[in-house]
Chains A and B, each alone.
Chain A
């Protein structure tokens, strides 16, 4: 196994194990911190795919923003941390159906996709400049719409906070 494969399996194991811990642990704080590990694992996989920018944005937005706010919220509401989350078996059949359908779709996608193999991955990493050019040319409309969406969310949050 070369370094690339070792790193990939490391990040994959970190991601999956911590994601499993997020849903299985009974302590909500542990879930939150495991979620951080999941985000890190995913960021690592992005780096291995040559998407440095997405990896770093993933860290800034998810770990630096969303996760910190999540932990913040959990810690401020002190009753959540004391109460145990109930995990158990309910709705087994519908859950299994949905999961099977979802897993089947994913598996179909995995098998049908035209995957890039290793030598192609060693091409130069897409730079920040290229992403910028793409964002303001090809995807300008989507980019602007997303900006407007975020602005709406911001104004909404401010107006709710004022009440």
Chain B
């Protein structure tokens, strides 16, 4: 564990914990820069365009140029906004999405806080993002922003339910909500939860179809929780200008952007940590073969990033393929399809675990 190493190195638990808590940021900020570039390229190629091509080779410097622009931009605050809340909201939004990373294991050597209730913890802190969006929408003092914030709150609160039901299913199967334990036990591809988990006997094979259903439900509902298309009605550009962040500019806008991409990555690695083995390699490690033990955590981190990026790519792919849902369709999908499916799924899995 990096934390223990830091404690040994520094000799002070508080300082070590502080440094330990900054580590995910070192990954998320470059990731966000890369993801914005990826988003542009993916969208461009889906629409048979080229995307940014001028700044650097195939436009790879474009997002860095953008962030420099945002840093220098005048911080515009409309006169009728509620100043304190307007200022706090972007910070709170990023805090909420960053807190989720505390319970996500990056590799066997790094997890922010190895708590037993990791999965519920992530579900709990995601409510902070809702509060931040409501705050931003209200403080902007703009009808469109308020509407966007309302929509997003209704959406996130509803879609939390299927997520938590799937988490319950996982709890029934594995008996653990600790993401580190979950990842640590899914040592190879046949032990991934989507292929029945690391249990033994008939149960393992019987639950495979239900685990797949669970993963799809989880992916859809987390997609809705991060307000991405087809669930992006909170910031539907063609109806609400930009929803809750219409009034924001400069660095505050950049904070919202960072929060959104951090959130995308958080839910991606959450799905991969639960169902696809998290940081574990689907087969062995090169470090094991050549007998270099310090190589294993680095390889695990690579796998973690690859799986996370894959789901981020899927999210972008969906965004540029599917049209946006209407508000009533959105609620219908959640309450009439996802929740009944996940409850049935939960009951069947629970029965199978008890009977077989």
Residues of A within 8 A of B (CB): 3, 29-30, 33, 36, 52-53, 56-57, 59-60, 63-65, 67-69, 71-72, 75-76, 81, 125, 127-129
Contact = CB atoms under 8 A, between A and B. Distances in A.
A64 B134 contact: no
Contacts of A71: 131, 134, 138, 153
A72 B150 contact: yes
B14 A3 contact: yes
Interface in B297-321: none
A52 B116 contact: yes
Interface residues on B, range: 20 to 34
Interface in B123-165: 123-128, 130-131, 134-135, 137-138, 146, 149-150, 153-154, 157, 160
Given A52-B117, A56-B121, A68 B14 contact: no
B120 interface: yes
Contacts of A64: 123-124, 126-127, 130, 157, 160
B85 A33 contact: yes
Nearest to A40: B128
Contacts of B157: 64-65, 68-69
B115 interface: yes
Contacts of B150: 72, 75-76
Contact of B117 (A29, A53, A68, A75): A53
B327 to A, nearest CB: 15
Contact of A75 (B13, B121, B123, B138): B138
B177 interface: yes
Interface centre among A29, A63, A64, by most chain B C-beta atoms within 10 angstroms, is A64
Contacts of A52: 115-117
A22 B245 CA distance: 26
A68 B127 contact: yes
Interface of B: 13-14, 82, 85, 115-117, 120-121, 123-128, 130-131, 134-135, 137-138, 146, 149-150, 153-154, 157, 160, 175, 177
B348 to A, nearest CB: 20
B116 A60 contact: no
Contacts of B154: 72
B128 A63 contact: yes
Nearest to A126: B116
B14 A63 contact: no
A57 B177 CA distance: 14
Given A71-B134, A75-B146, A128 B117 contact: yes
A53 B126 CA distance: 16
B134 A56 contact: no
B135 A33 contact: yes
Nearest to A36: B131
Contacts of B128: 63
Contacts of A128: 116-117, 177
Nearest to A62: B127
Contacts of A68: 127, 130-131, 134, 153, 157
A136 B120 CA distance: 20
A91 to B, nearest CB: 32
A3 B18 CA distance: 12
A102 to B, nearest CB: 30
Given A56-B124, A59-B125, A67 B131 contact: yes
Contacts of A129: 175
A125 B149 CA distance: 38
